[in-house]
Structure 1
Amino acid sequence: MASPRGEIGPKGHPRYTISSRRLPMRDKTFLFFIATYLAQGLIGIAYEPIYYLQKDVLHLGVHESGLFAAAMTLPFLFKPVLGALSDAFPLWRRRRVPYLFLATLGTAAGWAALSAAEHYTVAICLGLLIVVHIGISFVDVLCDGVMVERGKRLQKTGQYQSVQIGTLYLMLVVSGVGGGFLAEHASYKAIFALTACFPLLILFTLWAVEEKPVEDDPYTARRFREGMASLFKNPIFWASSAIILLFNFKPYQGTARFYYQADTLGFSKVFIGALSSIDGISGVAGAGLYWWLLGRKVNFAGRSVTLTTGLLVRLTVLIGAPCSLIWIAYRTPALAAAITALFGLLGVAMRLSLMDLVAQACPKHGEATAFALFMSVFNLAAWGSNTLGATLYGSFGAPIGEHAAMALLIFFGSGCTLLCWPLLRYIPSGEKTA
C-alpha cells in the first residue's frame, strides 16, 4: 500500500507526490490562512518604528540593538514547546481553535499595553514585546499545525504554504511603506494601538478551521509521543534541519543591514520602508513562482524531468551560495532596490521549497510540534545570524570600514550555504523522468 504524502517510505525516506495545481476556492481553510498571514504581515508596520525606538528613544547602539532584537524574538525558538502543548493537551477536545482564540487575544493585548505605556524604557518595551512575540509564535505554530494536518491529507502542503507566504509578502508591501511613513509621522503610541487591531482579524475566520474532536488526553499524548519518536529516527529530519540552519544563516541581514542602510548609505526612513515593500511585491511573485514550478515537467538533457519538492530543494542550495555574493553590490538606492527585488523573488521560492519538504516529513499526531521544530531551526538561524551580524558589524565597522565589514558578513553567509552541499545526498529528490 502506498504511503500517504510525507510518511516514511523505504530506508527512512519520505515518499513525495505532486500537488494539484488547481486552487479549489471551495476550500474555506484558505480564508483562515489568508487572514492569519494578513494579520501577521500587517503587524510588520510596527517593526521599522521599533528599530527607531531602540535607536532614538532608548539610545541603543548596533550591538545593544542586536541583543534587544534577540531577546524580543526569543519566543520564536520555543515554538516546539507551544506545538507540543497544542498536540498533546487539547482544550475541550480541540487541538487548534481554542488555543488560536487565546493566543490571538493575548497578542492584541500585548500591543495595546505597549500603546498605553506612559514611558518607554528598555525593561517595559522588552517585556511587552516578549509577550507579543509569544502570542505571534503560538498563532504561527497553530496555523502551521492546521496546514500540515490538512495539507498532507489533501496533498496541498505546497499550495497552502504558497498562499500563506504569498499573503505575508503581499502585506509587506503595505507594512514596508506604511512602517516607514508611520516612523516618520506618527507617535509610537498610535502605531502600537493600530497594530493591536490586526490580530483580531484572525478571530473572524476561526469558523473556517475544520477540526474534529480528538480522543481523551491519555490516547492523544501517547500517539503524539509515537509520532515524534518516528520523526527523530528519520534521517531526513536531521539533514533537513542542518540545511535549513546553514542556508538561512545570513548575518548581513537584519540589524546589521538596518544600521548599514541608515548610517552608512544614508537611506531615509521612507526609502528603507519602500525597500520592504519591494521585497513584499517580489515575495508574492516568488510564492507564485514556486506554485508554478512545483510538479512541472521540463526537458533536461533529452529527458522529461518532473520538478518535485526534493529536486527544487537541490536547486535552491546549488544556486544559493553564488547568488548571495550579489549583495556586495548593495551600495546605491538603485542597486539596493534591484537586489531587494531579485532576492525577494528567489528567496521566497527557495524558502518555500525547504518548508514544503519539511511539511511532508511531519508525522501524524505531532504535526504542529514537528513543523514548529523545523521552523525553530529557521528562527534559530535568523536569531543567531542577526545577533552575530550585529556584533561583528559593530566590532569591525570602525577598524576596517562599514563597507568591508558588510562584505565580510556576506562572505560568511555564502560560506554557510556552501556547507549545505554535502548534506543533499540525504535528501531524496523524488525525481520522475520520462
Structure 2
Amino acid sequence: MVGLGAFVTTIAQPGVIGRLPLQLLLKNELHFNAQALAAFMLVTTFAWNVKPLAGILSDAFPLFGTRRRHYMLLGASMAALCWFLLGVVPRAHGPLLLTAFGANAFMVIASTVMGGLMVEAGQKYGISGRVTSIRQALQSLVSLSNGILGGYLAATAFGWTAGIATALLIVLAVATFFVLTERPVAVRDRHVLANARRELATLARSRTLWASGGFLALVYITPGFTTPLLFMQTDALRFSTPYIGLMETIEGAAGLVGAMIYGFLCRRFSLRQLLTTAITINVLTTLLYLRYTHASAPFIHAIGGFAVICSELALMDLAVRSTPPGCESLGFALMMSARNFALGGSDVMGSWLIDSRGWVFHQLVWLNAATTALILVFIPLLPGAVVNRKDGEVAPGAASGAPPTEPAPARAS
C-alpha cells in the first residue's frame, strides 16, 4: 500500500505528469505568455506550500473516526474527480485554474496520508529503512520516466494526460477501500495541536533556523528562467515535445548520479566546503545556457541536472542540520514549503522581466548567474557549528539534546 501510494501521489501530480502537457496547452491554445504561465503554475501548486497543515489536520482531527483511511479515500477520489474535470472543462483560464488547484489540493491530502502510513509502517514493523528505500526508488523511477512520458503526452490530446492521472488515482482509491483497514476508533487529539504550537514557538526562537532559512531564501529567490526556457525551446529552437521531455529525463538521470556522488563526498568534506563548491559549479553551469542550442541541450541538461542536485542536497543538508531537536518534522516541512514557494516566485520574477521589461533570455541567464554568485558572500556568515563539520560527525551539544548553536533551555529549580 505504501509503495502504491508513493508512486501515485508522486506521478499523478499536475506538476509532474501534467506539467509539460498543461503548460503547452496554456501556451498554445490559450496563448499565455511566460509571465501568465508561471503565475498560473504558482497559484495552482500553492497547496503544496502548506502541506504541514494537512499533516496537523489528519493527525489531530480524525475523519469518520480514522486518521488515514478516510483521508486517503477523500484525497484520492476527489483528486481523480478534479483531474477528470480538468480534461473536460472549457479551455478557459478560470475553469482550468480551479480544477488544477483542486487536483493539487487533494493530492496534498493523499500525499500527506501516504507519508503518515510510511512512518507508521516503519515504526510498527521495524522496517523504516526498507519503506524509505521503496519510496525513494519509486520517486527516482518517476523522475526518470516522467520526462519522456510527459513529452509524448504533450504531443497528444490533453485528455490522455487527464485520463491516465484519473485512472491512477481511482486505482489508489479502490486499493485504499479494500486494503487499508483502520478501525474507526480515533478521537480528536488535542495534544497534536498543543505540540504544534510548542514546536512553532521553538522554531520562532531558533537563531540557527532563521540564519539558515534566510540563506535558503537568498538562494531560491534569484530570478529563474524555467518558463522562459520552455518558450525558447518551443518558439525559437523548435524543439519537439518528446525532445523536451527527453531533456528532463537526462536531467533526472544526471541528478541520480549527483546524489550518489554527494553521498560519498559529504563524509569527506565539511558542509561549508560543499556549499561553496556546489554553488560555484551551479553558477558556471548556468552560464552554459548562453550557448543553448538543439545540439548542446543534452550536454547542458546533463551538467545542469548534476549541478542542481548537488546544490539541492547541500542546501537540504543545511536545512536538516538547522532544525531544532524536537521539531524535526514540522521544522523541515516549513523550510521545504518556503523553498517551494520561493522557487515558484523566482520563475514568475524571471518571466516578468522577459514579458514586461523586454529582457532577452541571455540577460536573464546573466542575472541568475550573478545573483547566485553573490550567495557565496553569505556562506561565511552561516553558523559554524552547523556547517563546519562533515556528515557523520556529532554536532556540538548533540549528546545533551541541545541544538548546535542554541543555549540549552532554562529549567526551574
Is the pair's TM-score, using the shorter chain for normalization, greater than 0.5? Answer: yes
Alpha-carbon contact 1:41-1:175 (below 8 Å) kept: no
Partner amino acid, structure 2, of 1:355: M
1:256 aligns with 2:217: no
Distance across 2 between alignment mates of 1:162 and 1:359:
19
Residue 205 of structure 1: CA displacement? 7.5
Alpha-carbon deviations, 1:403-424, whole Å to 9, x = none? 2333333323443465455235
236 and 90 in structure 1: CA distance in 2 versus 1, 3 angstrom threshold: farther
Matched residue, 1:402? 361
Q: How does 1:297-316 map to 2 (within 5 A)?
A: 298=268, 311-312=270-271, 315-316=274-275
Find the residue that maps to 1:45 and give its secondary structure. coil
Alpha-carbon contact 1:84-1:369 (below 8 Å) kept: no
Distance across 2 between alignment mates of 1:353 and 1:160:
24
Unaligned ranges ≥5, structure 2:
395-413
1:390 pairs with one of 334, 351, 362: 351
1:189 pairs with one of 125, 136, 159: 159
Distance across 2 between alignment mates of 1:157 and 1:277:
29
Distance across 2 between alignment mates of 1:377 and 1:200:
31
216 and 408 in structure 1: CA distance in 2 versus 1, 3 angstrom threshold: closer
Matched residue, 2:142? 171
Find the residue that maps to 2:382 and give its secondary structure. helix
Find the residue that maps to 2:91 and give its secondary structure. coil
68 and 405 in structure 1: CA distance in 2 versus 1, 3 angstrom threshold: same
Matched residue, 2:297? 336
Alpha-carbon contact 2:58-2:71 (below 8 Å) kept: yes
- Per mean C-alpha deviation after superposition, the further-off stretch among 104-113 and 90-99 is 90-99
Find the residue that maps to 2:74 and give its secondary structure. helix
Unaligned ranges ≥5, structure 1:
1-27, 299-306
Identical positions, percent = 25
Find the residue that maps to 1:199 and give its secondary structure. helix
Residue 130 of structure 1: CA displacement? 0.7
Distance across 2 between alignment mates of 1:172 and 1:407:
28
Residue 221 of structure 1: CA displacement? 2.4
Matched residue, 2:103? 132
209 and 377 in structure 1: CA distance in 2 versus 1, 3 angstrom threshold: farther
Distance across 1 between alignment mates of 2:306 and 2:180:
30
Count of residues paired in the alignment: 388
Distance across 1 between alignment mates of 2:345 and 2:72:
28
Alpha-carbon contact 1:177-1:277 (below 8 Å) kept: yes
TM-score by length of 1: 0.74
Matched residue, 2:35? 63
Partner amino acid, structure 1, of 2:343: A
408 and 52 in structure 1: CA distance in 2 versus 1, 3 angstrom threshold: same
**CA-atom RMSD, angstroms?**
3.9
Alpha-carbon contact 1:83-1:142 (below 8 Å) kept: yes
Residue 388 of structure 1: CA displacement? 0.3
223 and 72 in structure 1: CA distance in 2 versus 1, 3 angstrom threshold: closer
413 and 210 in structure 1: CA distance in 2 versus 1, 3 angstrom threshold: farther
Alpha-carbon deviations, 1:384-433, whole Å to 9, x = none? 1011011012234x4x5432333333323443465455235362544467
Alpha-carbon contact 1:86-1:99 (below 8 Å) kept: yes
TM-score by length of 2: 0.78
Find the residue that maps to 2:17 and give its secondary structure. helix
Alpha-carbon contact 1:170-1:283 (below 8 Å) kept: no
Alpha-carbon contact 1:169-1:283 (below 8 Å) kept: no
Find the residue that maps to 1:427 and give its secondary structure. helix
42 and 281 in structure 1: CA distance in 2 versus 1, 3 angstrom threshold: farther
1:269 pairs with one of 241, 246, 257: 241
Alpha-carbon contact 1:104-1:139 (below 8 Å) kept: yes
1:324 aligns with 2:296: no
Partner amino acid, structure 2, of 1:57: E
Q: How does 1:81-120 map to 2 (within 5 A)?
A: 81-91=53-63, 95-117=67-89, 119-120=90-91
1:237 aligns with 2:209: yes
Residue 129 of structure 1: CA displacement? 0.7
241 and 163 in structure 1: CA distance in 2 versus 1, 3 angstrom threshold: farther
Partner amino acid, structure 2, of 1:181: Y
Residue 56 of structure 1: CA displacement? 1.3
Alpha-carbon contact 1:180-1:274 (below 8 Å) kept: yes
Residue 41 of structure 1: CA displacement? 7.1
Residue 48 of structure 1: CA displacement? 0.9
Distance across 1 between alignment mates of 2:374 and 2:138:
31
